[in-house]
Every structure is written in C-alpha cells, then in structure tokens.
Amino acid sequence: MYNNHEQLLIDVQKKSKKIVSSVRDVKYLKEEIESTKGLIIGFNTLRRLFGFLKETTPNIATLNTLSKYLNFKSFDSYSTSKLNFDEWHFQQQLLLIQTSKTLTDKDIITINTGVLNNKNIVYLGYFIANLIQENNTAILNKVFKNIVVDTLTSSDLLQFATIITHAFYRVPKKKAMAIYNDLTKNQTFRDTVVLLYIDYSTLNGIYFNVLELVKKNSTRDSDLFFVSLMSFYKQFYTIKTLEIRYITPPENFNKFPPVLRGRYFAYKIMNSTPIEPALKRRLIIECKKKNVHLLIEEIIPALIIKQEYKVLSEISEIFYEDIFNEDNWSTKTTNSFFLIALSNINWHGNNIHTAKKNLELVEIEKAELSYYHYISLFYYHTKLKISHSGNDLKTNTEAYISLKELVLKTGFIKFLEVTQKYVLN
C-alpha cells in the first residue's frame, strides 16, 4: 500500500505549483509544506521520495503529512477520495448530483475534495450556474454554507466568480435579485462572487443593486467600506454635479487587501482638486510597500481622470519594473491601465509618437471581464486626446463614436464631460 504513492507526489507538486526537478525545488517544497500549521517533514525524506537519495518505502507518518498538506485527514482518506482529484470524475459526480436534485453531506465532501484540484473550481462554477438557472436556492445555500475554498488562489476564484455572475445575467432580473437577496446573507458567497467580480459594466444597474444587498446583509467593516467606496464611484462617473462625500476608513484599514486600500486612495484622488501634497506623499509611501501591482489598480485610473499627470509620471518612474514584473490574477488589467497611463504621460509631454506606441500595446481583451468596459473608456478617452493633438480626424471620430457607445452601456457620462474638448469637428 505504501509503495502506491506516485499520484500523491504528483498532487503535492500540483498544489505547491512547483515541479520538483532539483534539490533546490525539494528545499522549496519542504518550506511550502511546513508553512501549513503543524506539519513537519524531513529534507532527506523528501529527497528520497523524489529520487535524489536512494529510495526506500515511505512510512505512514510521511504519507499522512503529505496527505494533510493536501487537506486530507490521512493517507487512507486521500487514497479513498483521490478519484475526485480527477477532472472528468469530478464532472461526472456533479452531473449525478445535478440529476438527483439533492445535496447530501456525502456530496459536500465530494465537492470539497474535488476543488482541492484548482482546475475543478471551473466545473463547480458551471454546476452553480445551472442551479441559478433552475432557481434552486436550497442547494445554492447549502453549497455556499459548506464549500471550503481556502486552498484556491484569487485567480481560481475569479474564474469561479465570473461564471456565476454571468449566470445571473442570463435570467430575468427579478429572479436574479431574489436569488441574490438569499445568497448575500452568506459571507462565503459575498467573498467568492460579489466582492471578487467587481462589475463596472453594470455599476449603474444590477451590480449596484447587489451591493445594496451586501450593505443590508453584512456587518463586516471591509464589506461596508467597499460598498461606500463603490457608491462614490457610481456618483463620480454617472452624476454631473458631484457632492463632496467623506468616507472614513475603519480602524483595521491597514489590514485590508491592497486592492481595497488602493480603491480608498482612488476615492481620495477623485474627491480632491487638485491632489493634495499630503495625499501624494501618502501614495508614494503606500506604493513602496509590497503588492504595489494590486494597490495601484484603482489609483492609476483615478489619476488619469483627474489629469494628475505629474503624479502619474512620478509613480511610473519609481515603480515601473515592480509593476511589469508582477504575475498574478489581475496582471493584464493593471498592465492595461499602466500602459494607458504611460500613453497619457507621453501625450501630456507632447511625445505623441511614443504615446501612440504605448496605446498599441494595450491588450484590453485579456483583462478581467468585469473591467473590460471600464478600461475601454480610458483607452478611447486617451485615443481621442492623441488624435486631437495629431489632428487625425478619422481616428478621432472613430474613437469618439466608440466612447459614446461605452458611455451608453455604462452610464459613465463623466467621460463625455472630460473628453468633449478633444473632439475634432
């Protein structure tokens, strides 16, 4: 029995996202396994398992440790349940649950075991999408009450949130809102769907209605803080006369995720004219902390819309390499915003040729779907400015038509207001 551990080693490598091909990889894997509370494994033990020392039959304690790293209670539990790691087997199990129209405790174990393989979260997303179509709130509630997603990355969960959110958009709004009203009472649903898939495309519609439900059903500081910031965003982009609004961050603000903290600084930028020196200093200090890539995802568009080119330029010069060397779930989104920022900086410096080249590198279609229209608005806003400076009537006209279509979809009339002076007649 103990010799049959090859698949266990494969699954451990999958979870660690590191293929063991050198002794250095073994060292990394040891550190990764021991980062899980209570787990200890010997360096030489791992070297033997992966063939860097003479192989021996691993003892049960070693196999139990590796299994616990994969969130199983023991090697025996792993051996019994490992079929659910297989993607096709997991899909079949979901089909059986779907056909039975019930969800047992055994089914919950099947689901939680299956999603330990991160690829299976997509199949679970489509399973939940089907439940939304069928208006099966009983099973939906049970899934979100019991699902364990601690081992999944933000990238995995974003795929999950995208599939589920667009399932809501395929049913009548009244039906969708009734299901949302039920599910937003559950923190796991809020965390893995509503607060992860931030839908700028419908901020002036259904997404804002969903945020109102979050406000109604959550007491968590970060949730309510996020809703207040998004409410300001909606007002800033969709109302002609902006009322000054003061949003005070909670006491635990510094422990919030970098994207949420960045959103607060974006609010501060949009709520001031011009940007205050103290805020500028604070931005630089915050960006010098880790995860600058995530922090500036909201800061950059705020600086562009407020025409704060000097601050944009300073951030660009200091953090250029940090931004483009990052690789995570929102890389394409932030890189698109950053390239648009560089284009604006060069346009403002009358370097039109380089501004065009910056804009040509933007890959909007690879950004997060929820940001697609939002990024596009900034893209065409910038294209208008460049074509205006170059007296390119054809490009200018096409960009303005595209911008107006996006404003019609999103309701973000702010872009027509700030762009009007760059339209060629």
Q: What is the DSSP string of 301-314?
A: HHHHHTT-HHHHHH
Q: Which domain holds residue 168?
A: 86-197
Residue 77, pLDDT above cutoff 80 = no
Q: Which residue has the tokens 């010997």?
A: 42
**Type of residue numbered 371:** Y
What stretches of 307-410 show up as alpha helix (H) in DSSP? 309-324, 331-348, 352-360, 372-389, 393-410
Same domain, 62 and 162: no
Whether 224 is in a domain gets the answer no
pLDDT band at 82 (very low <50, low <70, confident <90, very high): low
CA–centroid distance for 414 within its chain: 25
Residue 213, pLDDT above cutoff 90 = yes
Q: What pLDDT, on the 0 to 100 scale, is given for residue 150? A: 80
Query: Residues 11-28: what's their mean pLDDT?
Result: 88
Same domain, 346 and 381: yes
pTM: 0.81
Whether 186 is in a domain gets the answer yes
Last residue of a domain, one of 18, 53, 81: 81
Q: What domain count does the chain have?
A: 3
Q: φ, ψ for residue 170 (rounded to 5)?
A: -95, 5
Whether 207 is in a domain gets the answer no
Q: What pLDDT, on the 0 to 100 scale, is given for residue 2? A: 44
Whether 110 is in a domain gets the answer yes
Q: What pLDDT, on the 0 to 100 scale, is given for residue 1? A: 41
More confident residue, 64 or 321: 64
d(C-alpha 128, C-alpha 98), whole Å: 10
Whether 233 is in a domain gets the answer no
Query: Residues 236-245: what's their mean pLDDT?
Result: 80
Helix (H) or strand (E) holding 367: none
Residue 108, pLDDT above cutoff 80 = yes
Whether 402 is in a domain gets the answer yes
Tell me the per-residue pLDDT of 136-160, one tens digit each, with 9 for 90 and over: 999 999 999 999 888 788 888 999 9
Q: What pLDDT, on the 0 to 100 scale, is given for residue 325? A: 57
Whether 212 is in a domain gets the answer no
Same domain, 107 and 181: yes
Tell me the per-residue pLDDT of 388-412, one tens digit each, with 9 for 90 and over: 999 999 999 999 999 999 999 999 9
Whether 225 is in a domain gets the answer no
Query: Residues 245-273: what's their mean pLDDT?
Result: 91
Last residue of a domain, one of 178, 197, 216: 197
Same domain, 138 and 284: no
Nearest to 297 by CA among 275, 315, 318, 278: 315
Same domain, 372 and 253: yes
Last residue of a domain, one of 180, 197, 214: 197
Same domain, 66 and 97: no
d(C-alpha 194, C-alpha 234), whole Å: 16
Same domain, 186 and 271: no
Same domain, 293 and 424: yes
Q: For the chain, what is the mean pLDDT?
A: 90
